[in-house]
Amino acid sequence: MTNLELEFCGVHFENPTVLASGVLGVTASSLKNVVRNGAGGVTTKSIWLTEHIGHNNPTMFGTSSYFMNAVGLSDGGLTKAQEETFPEYNEDKKAPIIANIVASKIDDFGELAEKITISDPDLIEINISCPNVEDKYGKPFACDRGDAASVTRAVRGKTRKPIIVKLSPNVNNIVEIAQACANEGADGFCLINTVGPGMAIDIDLRRPILTNKVGGISGPAIKPIAVKHIYDVYKATGLPIIGTGGVMTGEDAIELMMVGARLIGMGTMVYYRGVEGFGKVVKEMEAWCKKNGVKNIEDIIGVIP
Amino acid sequence: MDVKNFDTRPVALEIKKIVVENESTNTYIFEYPLNGKPGQFVMLWIPGFDEKPFSIAYDDGKKFWLTICKVGPATEELFRFKVGDKVGIRGPFGTNYEVKKGEHIAVISGGYGAAPMYFVTREALAKGVKVEFLTGARNEDLLLYRERVKGLGGVNLHLSTDDGSVGHKGYITHVLEKLLKEKKIDKVFACGPELMMKAVGEIAEKADVECQMSVEKYMKCGFGVCGQCAVDDTGELVCKKGPVMPWKYVKKLGEFGKYHRDAQGKKHYF
């Protein structure tokens, strides 16, 4: 038997798989269903201070090699999270919950962090890297070392919960940005967010498929980008990482852990394997560990020199 | 892991024909081998505007129909489209109704729910199933598919209107209640407003008849990723587990008949 349990920023996880933000995260019952299907933890959809209307459909589509989305971070706002999502999830909590927060102003991140802390999430994940709001709010904070540091500082000043910063791969030097966040008190990272943005055209209709024209790319194709960025950030900071990006199988998860991921975030996997995929990935990780004589999953974290 | 058959990019299809059903309802006919089953739905993209789920009203493997009621900005935009204009279609998605040879079924609908029930009826008749077709609306004008169903052999048609302009005066559920007492029915299928379907489920259960229904919730992707159509309290998705679900499952849903959610996931009580 392989021990898949581990601690992440002092929080205990039964297995390393975590639902990534943005998928199946609209309601507490949906998050609970993800846990019932085998996930070691869940992340909420990005929570805004106030209700946020996303983009019109089409907001997403997939192919055999990649997936694209521009949902536009639709959300019922902090009130919905405080009054509904967290109380309902926490009443019979079976796995850790990560509150993902997003804002368009740096000060709002601080206020959100302070208020969501009262709802008692296990971790707070700061979404500074969603590319889909770029048109409206300028460059994502994740693309600027100073902005990323300011957001981290704003959140750090308002909560004692562990904070993890979700990083964008769409930058020249992810290590610089990660270090800037670490210097301001980030406890860990989640990476990578979607790649791009990209664009796809329906040639028969002669228009972009996504209403937002551009969207973040995820799915099998982006895994090598995730592996490279996780490798770099882990080497540079040594902080715990939720490795996310293109993980479809237990073997993919092992690959990301070998370069430093401590937890494994999965979102687009649900498109390819359904919500049942969480349990399947966990089984595949176990099988690989058994075959390779790995007793503790922790033993493979960051083994790649 | 096999990821070969995962393409959810829309297919651009020309509107081949538009049949005006009444002042707020059109049937759009497309020539395309969609191969949808009764109860399944497609996502229809109104280019430059929005994309919404619609039940399949008919599909013979060469062409398919969508009967669409003007209910909001997206459908209003669609109603400006003409024959020859192109829209995007993805699907078919979701679960479907199933019948067995020799069965005797009752299909019950309210308003534009009649369209997918017509598809169920066509398929059922082809399999040698006897069909009681019950449909109700506020008035005669809003009764859909009545003439098409009349043209099919082997169907008993039961109508109701709120104003009594045709058929039973009152709810179609009253007609079902009476029918289940008079005839031996094997299955009841329902498509219509949620509160009507709740009543149907309860009536069928009381009569000890198996019942399935088309559950409608706000959808974004239609293929099991966004989580918008997750239902309380199971957290399962209407686009995957449904839209056709057995009453024995639906009745356990805490939200059924009580509230639905909007695009931001906020609750709205009926």
Decide if B236 and A33 are in contact by the 8 Å CB cutoff. yes
CB contact under 8 A, A268 and B225: yes
Check: CB of residue A56 under 8 Å from CB of residue B50. yes
The pLDDT assigned to A1 comes to: 79
- 10-residue averages of pLDDT along chain A (305 residues): 95 98 96 98 96 94 96 93 97 97 92 97 91 55 90 96 96 96 98 95 97 96 98 98 98 98 98 97 98 97 97
Contact A162, A212 (CB under 8 A): no
Distance from CA of B120 to the nearest CA of A (A): 28
The reported pLDDT for the residue numbered A136 is: 47
Low-confidence ranges of chain B (pLDDT < 70): 1-4
> Which structure tokens are listed for A97?
């919950």
Q: Between chains, do B226 and A29 touch, taking CB under 8 Å as contact?
A: no
Helix, coil or strand: residue A101: strand
The answer as to whether B6 is a domain residue is no
Q: B81 and B21, same structural domain?
A: yes
Question: Most B CBs within 10 Å: which of A51, A205, A210, A251, as the mutation test of the B interface?
Answer: A205
d(CA A89, CA A119): 10
Taking contacts as CB-CB distances below 8 angstroms, the residues of chain B near A59 are 220-221, 226
Vertex A87 angle, CA A81 and A90, to 5°: 115
Return the domain boundaries, chain A. 6-300
Question: Residues of B at the A interface (Cβ-Cβ below 8 Å)?
Answer: 1, 3-10, 12, 43, 45, 47-52, 86, 88, 90, 220-221, 223-228, 230-237, 240, 261, 263-267
- What homologous superfamily is domain A6-300 in, according to CATH? Aldolase class I (3.20.20.70)
CATH number of the domain where residue B27 is located: 2.40.30.10
User: Are residues B134 and B262 both part of a single domain?
Assistant: yes
Domain with B192 in it: what CATH number? 3.40.50.80
Same domain flag for B34 and B108: no
CA A167, CA A181: separation in Å to the nearest integer? 10
A26, A52, A274: residue with CB nearest B227:
A26
Mark whether B123 and B49 lie in a shared domain: no
Return the closest-CA partner of residue A99 out of A108, A111, A86, A90: A86
pLDDT of residue A287: 97
Q: What is the pTM of this model?
A: 0.95
Side-chain half-sphere CA neighbours of A39 within 13 A: 30
Q: ipTM of the assembly?
A: 0.93
Structure confidence at residue B43 (pLDDT): 97
Domain that holds residue B184: 104-269
Q: Is B2 domain-assigned?
A: no
CA of B113 vs chain A CAs: smallest distance (Å): 23
Same domain, residue pair B118 and B210:
yes
Please judge whether B230 and A26 are an interchain contact, meaning their C-beta atoms are less than 8 angstroms apart.
yes
Instruction: Tell me, yes or no, whether B74 and B149 share the same domain.
Output: no
Q: Is the dihedral of CA A254, A258, A264, A266 positive or negative?
A: negative
Res B49: pLDDT: 93
What does the pLDDT read at residue B2?
Answer: 58
Among positive and negative, which fits the CA dihedral A208, A211, A216, A217? Answer: negative
SS3 A35: helix
The pLDDT score that the predictor gives to residue A135 is: 44
3-state secondary structure B79-102: CCCCCCCEEEEEEEECCCCCCCCC
Strand positions, DSSP E, chain A:
6-8, 11-13, 17-19, 42-43, 60-62, 67-69, 97-101, 123-127, 163-166, 188-191, 195-199, 201-202, 207-208, 214-218, 241-244, 261-266
Does residue B208 belong to any structural domain of this protein? yes
Catalytic residue among A130, A143, A181, A289: A130
Angle, helix A174-183 to helix A223-237, in steps of 10 degrees: 40
Q: Which residue, B72, B93, B114, sits at the end of a domain?
A: B93
DSSP chain B: ---TT---PPEEEE--EEEEEETTEEEEEEES-----TT-EEEEEETTTEEEEEE--EE-SSEEEEEEE--SHHHHHHTT--TT-EEEEEEEES------TT-EEEEEEEGGGHHHHHHHHHHHHHTT-EEEEEEEESSGGG--SHHHHHTSTTEEEEEEETT-SSSEES-HHHHHHHHHHHS--SEEEEES-HHHHHHHHHHHHHTT-EEEEE-----SSSSSSS-TTB-TTT--BHHHH-SEEEHHHHTT-TTTTTEEE-TT--EEE-
From the DSSP assignment, how many helices (H) and strands (E) are in chain A?
Answer: 11, 16
Residue with tokens 């989305």: A69
Residue of A nearest to B50 (CA): A57
Q: Taking Cα atoms as reference points, which of A151, A95, A145 lies closest to residue A125?
A: A151
3-class secondary structure, A98: strand
Question: What pLDDT is attached to residue A138?
Answer: 55
Enclosing H/E stretch for A110: helix A106-117
User: Based on the structure, what is the number of domains in chain B?
Assistant: 2
Strand-pairing partners, residue B18, are B28
Same domain, B69 and B188: no
What pLDDT was estimated at residue A151? 94
Tell whether B125 and B83 lie within a shared domain.
no
Q: How far is B164 from chain A (nearest CA, A)?
A: 40
pLDDT at A189: 98
A60 touches chain B (CB under 8 A): yes
Q: Is A80 on the interface with B (CB under 8 A)?
A: yes
pLDDT at site A139: 72
Q: Is A190 a catalytic residue?
A: no
